[in-house]
Amino acid sequence: MNLLDEVSDRCIRRALGFAGLGVGLVLLALSFDLALAFRSAGHLVALATATMLLLAWQAPRRDMRHSEAWAILRELAPDWTERPGRKELQARMRVAWRRRLIWHAERVGALALLFWALGFGFGLLRGD
């Protein structure tokens, strides 16, 4: 994995960590009704997946110089971001950003399906 993929992964996983914290708190708050808790978690995780897919769709037009990924890249490899070929670096960063967003969206989407299946299963157990 190259440096651009690692930077993209770091940004995406940080955001997913915060989203996961929110989903976990919703699961905890609704733990009195497991079917409702898992269905709600499925909806929230699907929303995170849709957000990542929307960001991936917008990636080819995004100015990466105003992103967290560019700030991290500037810290890790300052000579890359300061040299005259920044436009090529931005284009490569957009491609890496889009590819990693889609990769993560596929996995998070599978997690949403798992939550919905668990919600459906617990709903059947209680007679919904």
Q: Which of 114, 4, 110 is nearest to 52 (CA)?
A: 110
DSSP state of 33: S
Which residue's entry shows tokens 């700030």?
Answer: 71
Report the range of poorest mean pLDDT among 38-47, 64-73, 76-85: 76-85
- Is the full-model pTM beyond 0.85? yes
Q: pLDDT averaged over the chain?
A: 90
Residues in the chain: 128
What's the confidence (pLDDT) of residue 37? 96
What's the confidence (pLDDT) of residue 70? 84
Domain ranges of the chain: 3-126
pLDDT at residue 1 greater than cutoff 60:
no
6-63, pLDDT tens digit by residue? 999 999 999 999 999 999 999 999 999 999 999 999 999 999 999 999 999 998 888 8
Overall average pLDDT of the 56-84 stretch: 82
